[in-house]
Amino acid sequence: MYIGERLVGEKRYAEALPYLEETVRIAPDSDKAVLLTAKAALSIGEVEVAQKALQGHDGGKFEDEDSDVVEVKALWTRALGAFEKADQAVQLGKEGGHDAEAARLMHGAAASYPEAPKLATVAEMYDEGAAFERKDYDAFLALAEKLWKEDPSASTASQLASALACKYAVTGDMAYRKQSEDMLQKAEREAKADPEAMKNFQEYSERIRYRLNSRQIIDTQEYDRRFRGGKQK
């Protein structure tokens, strides 16, 4: 705990966390260990780690409401509020046709809890959807390229393939088609190691290839209505 406390004091939260988690494992009733663990975790967006430590300490109850308790509770409240907004955004995103509102909510979550940088990344992904909704395919492509460069993955490759397919559909420029097909191949390679990612790839790659072959741009809901009886496979 001494090492973890020193690292927290130096704001080296990620380095401190393994030491503090081990301390809490050994002494889950220690107020100081739990508070330091929660503070370190919440300071780098590791909400689940903080929740585990607090719940293991009588549901987060402390006898003395000193400044450390007040600080951690304020952090916890702010994190919970951000993730409530994020959950609302995700639900809107699932409904389709609400990406602009989902992006607004997710940006709000990211602004209120910047300690979790993934929220800002997800907000930009909803910005992509909002650009698609308003048929601003240049903005869609610019955002997709940015996210792919920052975090090459099956998900970001698929979004870039989708944006490139939109540009091909509206311009007929074969260069966009070739780039889209290349990104689909990269998305498949990235997805192969993960069964869930591979399942997602099989779903969205079908829609992107339809866009490339037909030069028609339709959203997921319309694609499902036309070709899947209104339901995803």
The answer to whether residue 124 is domain-embedded is no
User: pLDDT confidence of 230, banded at 50, 70, 90?
Assistant: low
CA distance 184 to 100: 26
CA distance 176 to 53: 50
142 and 233 share a domain? yes
139 and 232 share a domain? yes
Predicted local confidence at residue 232, as pLDDT: 46
For residue 231, is pLDDT > 70?
Answer: no
pTM of the model: 0.77
Average pLDDT rounded to a whole number, residues 93-122? 92
The answer to whether residue 9 is domain-embedded is yes
52 and 145 share a domain? no
147 and 231 share a domain? yes
Which of 41, 63, 85 is the endpoint of a domain?
A: 63
Domain that holds residue 156: 135-233
The answer to whether residue 140 is domain-embedded is yes
Q: In whole numbers, what is the pLDDT of the chain averaged over residues?
A: 92
For the stretch 159-199, pLDDT in tens is: 999 999 999 999 999 999 999 999 999 999 999 989 999 99
The answer to whether residue 95 is domain-embedded is no
The answer to whether residue 111 is domain-embedded is no
The answer to whether residue 71 is domain-embedded is no
For the stretch 18-68, pLDDT in tens is: 999 999 999 888 999 999 999 999 999 999 999 999 988 877 788 777 888
Query: Helix or strand or coil: residue 152?
Result: coil
For residue 128, is pLDDT > 60?
Answer: yes
What domain count does the chain have? 2
Cα atoms found within 13 Å of the Cα of residue 84, Cβ hemisphere only: 7
The answer to whether residue 109 is domain-embedded is no
- DSSP alpha helix (H) spans, the chain: 2-9, 13-26, 31-42, 47-55, 67-95, 99-112, 117-133, 137-150, 154-171, 174-191, 195-214, 220-227
Predicted local confidence at residue 97, as pLDDT: 82
140 and 53 share a domain? no
Residue at 48: amino acid letter: E
The answer to whether residue 114 is domain-embedded is no
Q: What CATH number did the domain enclosing 15 receive? A: 1.25.40
59 and 139 share a domain? no
